[in-house]
Amino acid sequence: MLGATALLGACSSNADEGAGAGGDSTSGAGENAAEDSEELEGEPEWTGAPLNPFDLRAGQCFNQVSWIDREQDRRISITASIDCAEPHDKEVYHEAEFPAPNGAPFPGEDQMTAWSQEVCYEAFEDFVAEEYELSVYDIDFLQPTKETFEHPVGRHRRVTCYLFSTVEDKMVGSAFGTAI
């Protein structure tokens, strides 16, 4: 179920602009951004408080929307934090820092993705209380790019693991301990 793609908002190498996202990029694995949210012309209805995807933390639920602004000839993507009791797209279930000292070069896309997949896979069962392969959830992650990893000030090393339902359009409540 895990495959390399880009995510929305600041966490997308595909996104031209993310609301409140600061313009950094992060790559992930799983759904394609175009499949991740329906691309519409004109701003769709969405709920939640826009935030920088780098600010997502474990236990936080969020929505992602993307649309085409034909007047400005660009795709707009928003990541928005929302209470897990409300209908939402995804939930962050784990965070981990890539083990590299400050000043270390980016390990490469393949190594970063392999490490991120392993970390997220290993943390899944402890959070959901069900084996990943038997669960109704799929997983994906936000990970540093070469640019954000090697940035002299930011040094973004965190991988953010999140899950989403494969059977429901929106989730309601946390997936923590659901054993499904």
Instruction: With respect to residue 106, please indicate whether it lies within any of the assigned structural domains.
Output: yes
Does some domain include residue 176?
Answer: no
Q: Is residue 179 part of a domain?
A: no
Rounded to 5°, the CA angle 157-163-159 comes to: 5
pLDDT digits (tens, 9 = 90+) for 26-65: 444 433 333 444 455 677 788 899 999 989 999 999 999 9
Helix or strand or coil: residue 16?
Answer: coil
Structural domain includes residue 155: yes
56 located within any domain: yes
Residue 99 included in any domain:
yes
Q: Range of 84's domain?
A: 4-40+48-165
pLDDT band at 101 (very low <50, low <70, confident <90, very high): confident
Q: Is the pLDDT of residue 177 over 90?
A: yes
pLDDT for 103 equals 83
pLDDT at 40: 55
Residue 178 lies in a domain: no
* Across 115-133, average pLDDT: 98
Q: What is the value of pTM for the model shown?
A: 0.77
Instruction: Report residue 155 as tokens.
Output: 């040094």
Structural domains in the chain (count)? 1
